[in-house]
A and B are shown apart, each in its own frame.
Chain A
Amino acid sequence: MAETSLFHSIRIDKKKCIGCVACMKICPTRAIRIRNQKANIAYGKCIDCGECMRVCPQNAIVPITTSSADLNRFKYKVALPSPVLYFQFGHHIMPHEILSVLKEIGFNHVYDEALVCEMVGLAIEQYLDENKSPRPIISSTCPVVVRLIQRLFPTLCKNIVPIEPPREIAAKNLRDELSKEKNLLKEDIGIIHITPCAAKMVSINHPATMKKSFLDGAISIREIYNSIMMKIKKLGRPSILQTQNRISGIGIGWSIPGGEIRALKYHNCVSVSGLHDTIKILEDVESGKLKDIEYLECLICPDGCVGGPLTVENRFIAKSNALRLIRMYGGKKRVDSNFVKKLYNDKFFSFESSVQPKPFPPLDTDRTKAIKKLKFKEKIARKLSGKDCGLCGAPDCITFAEDVARGEAKLEDCIYIKIKRSKGEGKYEKKKT
């Protein structure tokens, strides 16, 4: 398990970290341990959900996104914002204006993703039509959900819809179009996603379903917010882009929960958002409980991408802004379904390779030894207080027992065991009482 921070979007600033247990407690894959008063991420277990970043009281957990130096490598810079960017500003500022401001602050070209969202929606419908099992089919949009499934629910890899999310499809299409139109070398074009979360960075650097992402980097909404705001203030009402006046209401809807399923003709679809609810529902799917559901949209952040950790506006206001724009642009289909069908048949939307299970390593690769360690883990777990205090440096007693069984922690690290031992309440005394 030689995964390092290079593969991930989250880094701990050891100078700021005071070794409290906030991040360790919230981590859904129990990837964090406190060692020597500092939090450490076992990157082999990290799925880049960003929960630790949200709860850190010291702001010691830092997202890793594309730096401006990286950005300047490209001759021709293209901004591909997540529609969530549109919901960050007051309701008097329209998507077109935000797109044109992006051109003012250094991008050569901007592209609205919403139309592609609508196309991908049609492609998903086509896939559901042609493949009647397994069920439910699970959305591939949230990169954290894909990683969560690879890690914690490896048996569900087959359920992930093998269709790339809109940001990748948009970038794929753009690069082809721009290189022809503007006579540019493909490698001179830098397509940058403006993202509500750092996890997209991981899916760009280490995509799960292709050799190389079609995107070249990601900048967070937080990083770019101030420069957009300043420019808007300075320009008053910026000039409206004439070339892109077709914004899709259906596509914009993809940024809030239920967006992917709203336009599907299938009615038995479910949308879930938030980490713990997503885990809960995937457990049910793994049990075979939800086989009559056609499509399952899972989004790790609360309320989906509008609740991303790298956004600015609070998610309730952002959601209300989104709903207003959806109403304004309407639910009219703006994409020609025959055109999408043709692209679908040409495999334009398809994964290059399928999502591979990446389960956590078992207690031991040798099964007999693993079973021995499992029994040892259970024996230790029975000795522990079950208070899940976190003082040992593991998030809960069961995980601590597992660490001890794996040889990664010592039983004396548990404060209650230590106290018991110092009072002389060893095994023998306990039996007598």
Chain B
Amino acid sequence: MSNPYLLIIVTSSMCGLIAGFVMHRSSFCVTGMFRDMFLFKNYYMMRMLILLIVVSMAIFEVGTIFGLLSANPFPLLGPPSLATILGGVLFGFAMVLAGGCVVGTLYKMGSGSVLSVIAFIGLLAGSAFYAEIHHLWSALAKSTSFTSGQITLPQLFNTPSYLLTFPIAIVAGLYLFKVKDKLTRPSSVDGYIQPWKVAIILALLGSVSYLFVGMPLGITTSYAKLGASVEMIFAREHVFSLPYFTGLPLSYIPPFTDTLITGGAGPKLDAVAAIQYPLVLFITLGATLSAVILKEFKIHYRLPLKQYVTVLVGGFFLGLAARMVPGCNIWHLWGGVPILSMQSLIYAIALLPGTWLGSKFLAKYIITH
């Protein structure tokens, strides 16, 4: 194909539109999956996350065996380090305060939530702010790396990945079969799509992205990029003086092409922009489309000031944490965990204490009526 960006942009736009639509219909909130375990002892949505991971794990493995997926591990994953743990804990805490993670904020914003718009602004600011501390943080990540370059568990154990993924997928599959009566949720809301169906749809979208873009869904670098683009208006020279905004960590040959493309967090329209901007835009628009069809697109802004401040601060630290990890829930939980990326697995575990802390903090200090 002559233009390596065309397939990427089309795939990301379609995946985003469908993802935003179905996540709105089923309230598929990853933050809620973790938070509600601690706040309400409700494990329903966590089972949906397990389902999504298991289905993705099976598809990614089969795709790798048949040579359909270009690279395993896919680009931009790194070795785990202390930075992953600290970033994961902060991410878990901040996503509870922000009322949604990097993707949840998009579908809620798209359906008319003013609080999520504020969280989105905080996310851009926090992501761009990371550029100021990048030199310190990347030094910490390098000096505390847990492996000598290995990214996935199969690489660490020097074993074919299917020897690990298939047993894990089978055990998790048996667990889900055992609790199969608890996989549906009664709902009388209009246009509801059962979360288990959405989990499978999202696993399929991740697979489509892996096949055509060369990696599963991910969007966080584009928040720094968008933040940097805004910062350019006020401090153009400063933006170009920061190594984080001039580096090009993404450098790969996308599937079905023979052209090397590169991208980074700077304001330039590059490979990262081609992959992630369409996702950000179309996840939001997919949710708007869903809400408008249901006649549920309503804007309410008369809310306690405390809540506005909380989501803004939460969004800021969420954006910062997403760069510290680096990555977010969909990148690591829906993409990295299924291929047993150690960074992703450690991030997932680090989310637990962070979400627990966030839930306690929110229930005690923020929500009053």
A is bound by B: no
- Interface positions of B (Cβ within 8 A of A): none
- Interface positions of A (Cβ within 8 A of B): none
